[in-house]
Protein backbone atom coordinates (compact mmCIF):
# COMPACT_ATOMS: atom_id res chain seq x y z
CA UNK A 1 0.00 0.00 0.00
CA UNK A 2 3.02 2.26 -0.12
CA UNK A 3 2.32 5.26 -2.27
CA UNK A 4 4.83 4.11 -4.83
CA UNK A 5 3.92 0.47 -4.74
CA UNK A 6 4.75 -0.70 -8.24
CA UNK A 7 1.67 -1.91 -9.98
CA UNK A 8 -0.50 0.69 -8.30
CA UNK A 9 1.57 3.75 -9.04
CA UNK A 10 -0.83 6.01 -7.26
CA UNK A 11 0.07 9.57 -7.92
CA UNK A 12 1.33 11.12 -4.71
CA UNK A 13 0.90 14.50 -6.29
CA UNK A 14 -2.80 13.92 -6.85
CA UNK A 15 -3.30 12.30 -3.47
CA UNK A 16 -1.76 15.24 -1.69
CA UNK A 17 -3.74 17.73 -3.73
CA UNK A 18 -6.99 15.92 -2.96
CA UNK A 19 -6.38 15.75 0.77
CA UNK A 20 -5.35 19.35 0.91
CA UNK A 21 -8.36 20.45 -1.11
CA UNK A 22 -10.70 18.47 1.11
CA UNK A 23 -9.34 20.11 4.23
CA UNK A 24 -9.43 23.57 2.75
CA UNK A 25 -12.99 23.24 1.49
CA UNK A 26 -14.28 21.68 4.69
CA UNK A 27 -12.73 24.56 6.58
CA UNK A 28 -14.18 27.32 4.48
CA UNK A 29 -17.71 26.40 3.51
CA UNK A 30 -20.77 24.58 4.84
CA UNK A 31 -20.14 20.89 4.69
CA UNK A 32 -23.00 20.04 2.32
CA UNK A 33 -21.22 22.21 -0.21
CA UNK A 34 -18.05 20.21 0.14
CA UNK A 35 -18.89 17.88 -2.73
CA UNK A 36 -16.67 15.40 -4.46
CA UNK A 37 -16.93 17.60 -7.52
CA UNK A 38 -15.71 20.63 -5.63
CA UNK A 39 -12.82 18.69 -4.13
CA UNK A 40 -11.85 17.41 -7.55
CA UNK A 41 -12.06 20.87 -9.03
CA UNK A 42 -10.01 22.46 -6.27
CA UNK A 43 -7.39 19.73 -6.42
CA UNK A 44 -7.16 19.95 -10.19
CA UNK A 45 -8.00 16.29 -10.30
CA UNK A 46 -10.72 14.23 -11.89
CA UNK A 47 -13.61 12.85 -9.95
CA UNK A 48 -12.68 9.40 -11.16
CA UNK A 49 -9.36 9.67 -9.40
CA UNK A 50 -11.09 10.37 -6.13
CA UNK A 51 -13.55 7.54 -6.56
CA UNK A 52 -10.71 5.25 -7.53
CA UNK A 53 -9.06 5.61 -4.17
CA UNK A 54 -11.77 6.55 -1.69
CA UNK A 55 -15.27 5.17 -1.28
CA UNK A 56 -16.87 8.43 -0.18
CA UNK A 57 -16.42 12.06 0.52
CA UNK A 58 -16.16 11.34 4.23
CA UNK A 59 -13.35 8.89 3.72
CA UNK A 60 -11.36 11.59 1.96
CA UNK A 61 -11.95 13.94 4.85
CA UNK A 62 -10.90 11.41 7.45
CA UNK A 63 -7.78 10.55 5.48
CA UNK A 64 -7.00 14.21 5.09
CA UNK A 65 -7.27 14.87 8.80
CA UNK A 66 -5.26 11.80 9.66
CA UNK A 67 -2.53 12.88 7.24
CA UNK A 68 -2.52 16.38 8.65
CA UNK A 69 -2.35 15.08 12.19
CA UNK A 70 0.46 12.72 11.30
CA UNK A 71 2.34 15.65 9.86
CA UNK A 72 1.56 18.52 12.21
CA UNK A 73 0.37 17.27 15.55
CA UNK A 74 2.68 16.49 18.40
CA UNK A 75 0.68 14.32 20.72
CA UNK A 76 1.73 14.42 24.32
CA UNK A 77 0.62 16.48 27.30
CA UNK A 78 2.73 18.82 29.34
CA UNK A 79 3.97 17.44 32.63
CA UNK A 80 4.85 20.08 35.21
CA UNK A 81 3.77 17.93 38.11
CA UNK A 82 0.65 20.03 38.44
CA UNK A 83 -2.03 17.85 36.88
CA UNK A 84 -4.78 20.41 37.08
CA UNK A 85 -2.59 23.06 35.54
CA UNK A 86 -1.44 20.75 32.79
CA UNK A 87 -4.98 19.75 31.93
CA UNK A 88 -6.05 23.39 31.99
CA UNK A 89 -3.35 24.21 29.48
CA UNK A 90 -4.54 21.45 27.21
CA UNK A 91 -8.18 22.45 27.51
CA UNK A 92 -7.39 26.10 26.88
CA UNK A 93 -5.75 24.95 23.67
CA UNK A 94 -8.83 22.96 22.76
CA UNK A 95 -11.06 25.92 23.45
CA UNK A 96 -8.87 28.13 21.29
CA UNK A 97 -9.01 25.66 18.43
CA UNK A 98 -12.77 25.39 18.63
CA UNK A 99 -12.99 29.15 18.43
CA UNK A 100 -11.23 29.07 15.08
CA UNK A 101 -13.96 28.95 12.43
CA UNK A 102 -11.85 26.71 10.23
CA UNK A 103 -11.33 24.15 12.95
CA UNK A 104 -14.92 24.47 14.02
CA UNK A 105 -16.14 23.69 10.52
CA UNK A 106 -13.66 20.86 10.09
CA UNK A 107 -14.66 19.22 13.31
CA UNK A 108 -18.34 19.54 12.51
CA UNK A 109 -17.78 17.91 9.17
CA UNK A 110 -15.81 15.10 10.73
CA UNK A 111 -18.49 14.54 13.33
CA UNK A 112 -21.25 14.50 10.74
CA UNK A 113 -19.42 11.80 8.83
CA UNK A 114 -18.64 9.63 11.83
CA UNK A 115 -22.27 9.83 12.89
CA UNK A 116 -23.37 8.40 9.58
CA UNK A 117 -20.70 5.89 8.73
CA UNK A 118 -19.48 3.35 11.25
CA UNK A 119 -16.46 2.50 9.15
CA UNK A 120 -15.29 6.06 9.32
CA UNK A 121 -16.02 6.18 13.02
CA UNK A 122 -13.71 3.23 13.56
CA UNK A 123 -11.09 4.88 11.44
CA UNK A 124 -11.31 8.10 13.39
CA UNK A 125 -11.18 6.15 16.59
CA UNK A 126 -8.01 4.40 15.51
CA UNK A 127 -6.16 7.24 13.81
CA UNK A 128 -7.26 10.30 15.73
CA UNK A 129 -8.85 9.39 19.02
CA UNK A 130 -6.58 6.59 20.15
CA UNK A 131 -3.32 8.56 19.86
CA UNK A 132 -4.88 11.28 21.99
CA UNK A 133 -6.12 8.76 24.51
CA UNK A 134 -2.64 7.35 24.76
CA UNK A 135 -1.14 10.76 25.30
CA UNK A 136 -3.59 11.34 28.13
CA UNK A 137 -2.97 7.85 29.49
CA UNK A 138 0.73 8.57 29.71
CA UNK A 139 0.09 11.71 31.73
CA UNK A 140 -2.45 9.92 33.93
CA UNK A 141 0.09 7.19 34.67
CA UNK A 142 2.47 9.78 36.02
CA UNK A 143 -0.31 11.38 38.01
CA UNK A 144 -1.42 8.06 39.39
CA UNK A 145 2.10 7.34 40.54
CA UNK A 146 2.05 10.69 42.28
CA UNK A 147 -1.18 9.80 44.03
CA UNK A 148 -3.17 12.43 42.15
CA UNK A 149 -5.41 9.96 40.38
CA UNK A 150 -7.19 7.03 41.95
CA UNK A 151 -6.72 3.50 40.73
CA UNK A 152 -10.45 3.07 40.24
CA UNK A 153 -10.61 5.42 37.23
CA UNK A 154 -9.49 3.96 33.94
CA UNK A 155 -7.79 6.09 31.34
CA UNK A 156 -10.76 6.33 29.03
CA UNK A 157 -13.11 7.45 31.77
CA UNK A 158 -10.52 9.92 32.92
CA UNK A 159 -10.12 11.37 29.46
CA UNK A 160 -13.88 11.71 29.19
CA UNK A 161 -13.98 13.67 32.43
CA UNK A 162 -11.52 16.10 30.97
CA UNK A 163 -12.64 16.58 27.39
CA UNK A 164 -16.28 15.48 27.14
CA UNK A 165 -17.71 18.56 28.87
CA UNK A 166 -15.90 20.84 26.46
CA UNK A 167 -17.01 18.99 23.33
CA UNK A 168 -20.52 18.65 24.69
CA UNK A 169 -20.78 22.38 25.23
CA UNK A 170 -19.24 23.05 21.81
CA UNK A 171 -21.71 20.75 20.14
CA UNK A 172 -24.79 21.92 21.99
CA UNK A 173 -23.89 25.57 21.92
CA UNK A 174 -25.13 25.54 25.48
CA UNK A 175 -22.51 27.86 26.92
CA UNK A 176 -19.46 29.92 26.20
CA UNK A 177 -16.09 28.29 25.68
CA UNK A 178 -13.61 30.44 27.58
CA UNK A 179 -10.28 29.88 29.24
CA UNK A 180 -12.01 30.30 32.59
CA UNK A 181 -14.39 27.53 31.64
CA UNK A 182 -11.47 25.37 30.61
CA UNK A 183 -9.86 25.94 33.98
CA UNK A 184 -13.08 25.00 35.74
CA UNK A 185 -13.42 21.79 33.77
CA UNK A 186 -9.84 20.89 34.62
CA UNK A 187 -10.44 21.57 38.29
CA UNK A 188 -13.62 19.48 38.42
CA UNK A 189 -11.96 16.68 36.51
CA UNK A 190 -9.14 16.61 39.04
CA UNK A 191 -11.61 16.47 41.89
CA UNK A 192 -13.32 13.54 40.27
CA UNK A 193 -10.04 11.79 39.52
CA UNK A 194 -8.54 12.18 42.95
CA UNK A 195 -8.28 9.05 45.11
CA UNK A 196 -11.23 8.76 47.48
CA UNK A 197 -9.07 8.92 50.61
CA UNK A 198 -6.92 11.81 49.50
CA UNK A 199 -9.23 14.11 47.57
CA UNK A 200 -7.65 16.31 44.95
CA UNK A 201 -4.14 15.93 46.19
CA UNK A 202 -1.71 18.29 44.59
CA UNK A 203 1.51 16.36 45.17
Residues that bind a second copy (CB under 8 A): 30-32, 108, 111-112, 114-116, 118, 121-122, 124-125, 129, 133, 153, 156-157, 160-161, 163-165, 167-169, 171-175, 181, 184-185, 188-189, 191-194, 196, 199-200
CB 24 → DNA: shortest distance, Å?
16
Closer residue to a second copy (CB): 12 or 130: 130
Closest residue by Cα to residue 37 from 28, 49, 29: 49
Q: Is 1 in the site for DNA (CB under 7 A)?
A: no
DSSP state at residue 129: I
User: Is the CB of residue 165 less than 8 Å from the CB of residue 172?
Assistant: no
Residue 196 interaction partner, one of DNA, a second copy, none, beta carbon < 5-8 Å per kind = a second copy
Cβ 162 vs Cβ 67: under 8 Å: no
Q: How far is CA 41 from CA 45, 46, 145, in A?
A: 6, 7, 53
Residue ranges of alpha helices (H) inside 82-178 are 83-99, 101-116, 118-124, 130-145, 155-172
Q: Give the Cα separation of 148 and 187 in Å (integer).
A: 12
Contact 61, 109 (CB under 8 A): yes
Cα–Cα distance between 36 and 102 in angstroms, integer?
Answer: 19
Chosen residue from 16, 38, 67, 98 binding DNA by CB under 7 A: 38
Partner whose binding site includes residue 52, from DNA, a second copy, none (CB under 5 to 8 Å by kind): DNA
- Binding region for DNA (CB under 7 A) out of 7-15, 92-100, 158-166, 185-193: 7-15
Does residue 114 bind DNA (CB under 7 A)?
no
- State the binding string over 52-91 for DNA (x if CB under 7 A, else -): xx--xx----------------------------------
Residues that bind DNA (CB under 7 A): 4, 6-11, 14-15, 33, 35-38, 44-49, 51-53, 56-57
Amino acid sequence: MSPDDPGRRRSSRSTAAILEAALALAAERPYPQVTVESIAARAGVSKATIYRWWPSRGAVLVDALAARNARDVAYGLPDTGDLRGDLAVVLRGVVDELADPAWDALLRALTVETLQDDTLRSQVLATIFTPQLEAFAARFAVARAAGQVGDDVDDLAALELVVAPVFHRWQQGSGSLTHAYADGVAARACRALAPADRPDAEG
